[in-house]
């Protein structure tokens, strides 16, 4: 079974004037997804 990646973003990181996420928000979401994957792998052991 493949790992599912969970992506989180904070609402205050949305840039509504530019219709998208800021670079900081994307980096933050990637970090949380990476930590989520590591946590799931650790639980399997």
pLDDT at 5: 64
Tens place of pLDDT per residue across the chain (45 aa) = 566 766 555 555 555 566 566 676 777 777 877 887 777 777 776
- 21-35 burial by CB neighbour count: b if 16+ within 10 A, else e? beeebeebbeebeee
H helices of the chain, in order, are: 23-44
How confident is the model at residue 17, as a pLDDT?
63
> What pLDDT score was predicted for residue 27?
77
For position 39, what pLDDT does the model report?
74
Residue-level pLDDT at 12: 58
* pTM recorded for the entire structure: 0.41
For the chain, give the longest Cα–Cα distance: 45
């Amino acid at each position: 079974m493949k790992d599912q990646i969970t992506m989180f973003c904070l609402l205050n990181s949305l840039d509504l004037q530019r219709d998208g996420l800021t670079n900081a928000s994307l980096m933050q979401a990637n970090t949380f997804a990476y930590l989520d994957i590591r946590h799931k792998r650790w639980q399997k052991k």
